[in-house]
Amino acid sequence: MILISLLALPFVAALLSFMLPKQAKTLALLSSAIAVLITLYLSMHIAEGALDVSQAWLPDLGIQFALHADGLSCSLSLLTALVSFLVFLNLNNKEVSKTNSFYGLLLFAQTGLMGVFLASDGMLFYFFWELALIPIYFLSSIWGGENRIKVTFKFFIYTFIGSVMMLAGLIYLGLQTPGADAFSYHSLVAVGNSLSNTQQISLFVLFFLAFAIKMPIFPFHTWQPDAYDEAPTSVTIFLSALMVKMGLYAVLRWLMPVLPEGVNYWSNAVIILSIIGIIYASIIALQQTNIKRFIAYSSIAHMGLMCAAAFVQNDLAIHGVKVQMFTHGINIAGMWLVVSIIENRFQTKDMNALGGIATIMPKLAIAFVIIAFANIALPLTNGFVGEFMLFAGIFSSTHPNHILYMVLAGLGVILGAAYTLRMLQKVVFGTASSTQEVKDISINEWCVLGIVLSLIIALGVYAKPLLTLTSF
């Protein structure tokens, strides 16, 4: 029942938001707050054993309504609930056109994300995958920037192609063992493992392309900077903190167990692409003056590092990936929340037009510096433990060229520190570019950023709860 409630809460709240426009804000905030409490409870008790829900849905097609919660799915469900709550809390004192539709679509996206992280039936996973994406298309195309239609169409084409490939792969696997549970997780794992090496190698391409587009991994990343730049900040937080995790989660949950020989065959190529993406995105970030595009390329670099570590196939590295998925989600959400405040106050996203925020808005400057340091995994911040585990796992792996991969990935981390410090120097320090009077963080904004900062410091000082949760 507890798993179903995580899907029912945002879904019902979304329907009510469309029908009750005046209560949309309250419904969204309340439902997401309850979801945080439920996922926290689930996370604290998951050590007692994984939870499962399974019942017939479309038995003639071999599709079940099956949900599963373990440490990985709990951590990402908790992340989804937390980020959704932060988004709705941040929007609490802001006016949005067509309020009911905006909140309703965000809640539908939250429902889809929860479903992706909890589904244990392949077709149900695909259903929620699409449910998470479709609201984002509408949100970006209606409430986005000047070039929103062009950018949203590009995003749609990329993700549509990936979704079709994943669907084709799922159908092929399901047809191998027809029955009432043909698409169940255990059936797909058994079928996938029984396929020949050639079949697994071919199917890997179908699934990985879908997941690589979502992460995104070089060279499938080109939609992301444009989408982040044009989408409303609230939507961008969903994209950056949560939806890019869908692809990496799918790799860990579905791709590696189902097609192990395909993973072994392609792992070297994926790691190389990921490392190219890390260095490429970092170099582009160094040149950026648009702060939204800067964060987009920073995210590409971070996801590249996590993907490379995952395909090394070392237990320590994979555990680090699970930790980093959660902490990166918190940190990147914090970055976007700060950017939304800056854009609201100064009406610009050009870093050259900013500067001296430390003298104008000292509270925001302190928050921004802490979040930025967490984003580059400075010790005593939440990003350090996961990143340390990533590199320790890569170093101790038996994968060919693992030392070279570690060195190149380390170069990406150094570049990450360089472009982050450059951004802070431009935006936070130096001479103030604006002479206008600007209010520092409001009480509502301070509450939102306070939650992010608390998580950064708390998990940086004492990471054991997160380490324990992601170990199951």
pLDDT at 62: 84
Which pLDDT tens digit goes with each residue over 119-166? 999 999 999 999 998 998 888 888 877 788 888 888 888 888 989 999
Reply yes or no on whether the pLDDT at 29 is more than 60: yes
pTM attached to this predicted model = 0.94
pLDDT at 463: 94
Helices (H), 349-401: 357-360, 362-375, 382-396
- Quick check: 253 and 192 in contact, CB under 8 A? no
Cα distance between residue 325 and residue 72, in whole Å: 10
Q: What is the mean pLDDT of residues 255-270?
A: 93
Q: Please provide the average confidence, as pLDDT, over all residues in the chain.
A: 90
Q: What is the mean pLDDT of residues 434-456?
A: 85
pLDDT at 436: 62
Q: Which residue reads 């935006």 in tokens?
A: 427
Q: What is the mean pLDDT of residues 388-392?
A: 91
Task: Look up residue 317 and give its two tokens.
Answer: 């590295």
Task: Look up residue 372 and give its two tokens.
Answer: 């930025």
Cα distance between residue 384 and residue 376, in whole Å: 8
- Quick check: 294 and 343 in contact, CB under 8 A? no
Of the pLDDT bands very low, low, confident and very high (cuts 50, 70, 90), residue 429 is: confident
Which pLDDT tens digit goes with each residue over 351-384? 888 878 888 888 999 999 999 999 999 999 999 9
pLDDT at 335: 93
Cα distance between residue 375 and residue 358, in whole Å: 19
Reply yes or no on whether the pLDDT at 98 is more than 80: yes
What count of other Cβ atoms lies within 10 Å of the Cβ of residue 438?
Answer: 15
pLDDT at 220: 85
Long-range Cβ contacts of 349-354 (<8 Å, 24+ apart):
349/229, 349/290, 349/291, 349/292, 350/289, 350/290, 350/291, 351/288, 351/289, 351/290, 351/291, 351/294, 351/423, 351/426, 351/427, 352/289, 352/426, 352/433, 353/433, 354/291, 354/426, 354/427, 354/433, 354/434
Q: What is the mean pLDDT of residues 294-322?
A: 92
pLDDT at 433: 62
- Name the range with the highest mean pLDDT among 51-65, 207-221, 457-471: 457-471
Reply yes or no on whether the pLDDT at 42 is more than 80: yes
The residue with greater pLDDT, 442 or 167, is 167
Reply yes or no on whether the pLDDT at 435 is more than 70: no
Q: What is the mean pLDDT of residues 204-221?
A: 90
Buried b (16+ CB within 10 A) or exposed e, 364-383: bbebbbbbbbbbbbbeebbb
Dihedral over Cα of 462, 467, 470, 472: its sign: negative
Cα distance between residue 54 and residue 282, in whole Å: 44
pLDDT at 434: 58
Peptide bond into 219 cis (omega under 30): yes
CA distances from 85 to 10, 234, 238, 423, 458 (A): 11, 11, 11, 28, 19
